[in-house]
Amino acid sequence: MYPTATEYTSQRTAGIPGMQSTNRCLLHPRRKELLQQLRSLDENAQLEAKRASQLGESILQTICAFANEPGLGGGTLLLGVVRQDEGLLFPDYVVCGVPEPDKLQNDLISQCRSVFNVPVSVSVTAERSADKPVLLVGVAGA
pTM recorded for the entire structure: 0.76
Give the pLDDT mean for 52-73.
91
Give the CA distances from residue 41 to residues 64, 99, 113, in Å, rounded to whole numbers and listed in that order: 22, 27, 31
Confidence label for 9 from pLDDT (cuts 50, 70 and 90): very low
Burial class (CB in 10 A: 0-12, 13-18, 19+), 22: exposed
More confident residue, 122 or 13: 122
Residue 68 Cα to chain centre, angstroms: 14
Give the CA distances from residue 136 to residues 7, 87, 96, in Å, rounded to whole numbers and listed in that order: 24, 28, 14
Give the pLDDT mean for 68-78.
91
Q: Which helix H or strand E contains 105, and what residues bound it?
A: helix 101-114
Q: How far apart are CA 97 and CA 101, in angstroms?
A: 9
Q: What is the pLDDT of residues 90-129, one digit of tens each?
A: 778 999 999 999 999 999 999 999 999 999 989 999 998 8
Q: What is the pLDDT of residues 18-45, one digit of tens each?
A: 333 332 333 345 778 888 888 888 899 9
CB atoms within 10 A of CB 58: 12
